[in-house]
Amino acid sequence: MNSNSYHYPKQANYRIEIIIAILTFLGVCFIQNSLDIRTVFQIVLGAIGNVAQFIRQSFETIIINPIVEMDGSDMVGVLLLATAFSLAVRRVRQYLTSSASGACACPSCGEKLHRIHRTRGQHLISKILCLDSACLHCEKCDYNSLLFSNKVAHQA
Ligand SMILES: [Zn+2]
């Protein structure tokens, strides 16, 4: 819990040690090899360039290449996952629409439910699931229910 507050001074000390080591190394280099400042900048910029290239290469190896070099079995895997996902969405839709049938009365007190405005989150959920939804509210016991129904498709 207080690991952050414990580790922070340790990291700060460590950072200072790195700076001391770099300064010492550079100082020795300047004295022994009489390096001019341009060479030092070239070394530093070269190191930064190498790091940037390493990050770019790792990014390509881990993320870009698997997508580009995807073979048949990977394609099948992705297809299976996509199918499973669409089936799961369909199952959730079925569950939501079947459980909502005949929910015009409050399940806790039996009072008639009134339709109220949906929240932004409820609106988003029904958008994602491609379902019509209505938020029903009980004035007597403050019960809220989100009712889903299949969208009525327009006949051509
Ligand atoms: Zn109620």
Q: At 113, phi and psi to the nearest 5?
A: -85, 145
Q: How far is the CA of 121 from the centre of ligand 1 (A)?
A: 23
Q: What is the residue range of 138's domain?
A: 88-150
- Of 37, 67, 97, the one marking the end of a domain is 67
Q: How far is the CA of 140 from the centre of ligand 1 (A)?
A: 5
Domain count, the chain: 2
Q: How far is the CA of 132 from the centre of ligand 1 (A)?
A: 23
pLDDT at 99: 63
Q: How far is the CA of 130 from the centre of ligand 1 (A)?
A: 28
pLDDT at 5: 45
The reply to whether 75 falls in a domain is no
- Of 67, 100, 119, the one marking the end of a domain is 67
Contact 121, 107 (CB under 8 A): no
Distance CA 60, CA 103 (A): 53
Q: How far is the CA of 136 from the centre of ligand 1 (A)?
A: 10
Residues 46 and 97 in one domain: no
> Residue 148 in 3-state DSSP?
strand
The reply to whether 82 falls in a domain is no
Give the tokens for residue 96. Answer: 């939501």
Q: How far is the CA of 144 from the centre of ligand 1 (A)?
A: 8
The reply to whether 144 falls in a domain is yes
The reply to whether 155 falls in a domain is no
Residues 55 and 21 in one domain: yes
Q: What is the pLDDT along the chain (156 residues), one digit of tens a residue?
A: 444 444 455 555 678 888 888 888 888 777 776 667 777 788 888 999 999 999 998 888 888 887 777 777 777 888 888 999 989 988 888 888 776 555 578 888 888 888 899 999 999 988 888 888 888 899 999 988 888 887 765 554
Residues 103 and 57 in one domain: no
Residues 94 and 62 in one domain: no
The reply to whether 79 falls in a domain is no
pLDDT at 35: 62
Dump strand ranges (E) for the chain.
Answer: 114-116, 131-137, 144-150
H or E stretch including 120?
helix 120-128
Q: How far is the CA of 108 from the centre of ligand 1 (A)?
A: 5
pLDDT at 112: 87
DSSP 49: H
3-state helix, strand, coil in the chain (%, to 5): 65, 10, 25
Per the listing, tokens 């699931």 go with 129
Residues 63 and 95 in one domain: no
Residues 45 and 98 in one domain: no
The reply to whether 33 falls in a domain is yes
Distance CA 46, CA 67 (A): 30
Angstrom CA distances, 59 to 52, 129, 147, stand at 11, 33, 44
The reply to whether 27 falls in a domain is yes
The reply to whether 156 falls in a domain is no
Q: How far is the CA of 112 from the centre of ligand 1 (A)?
A: 8
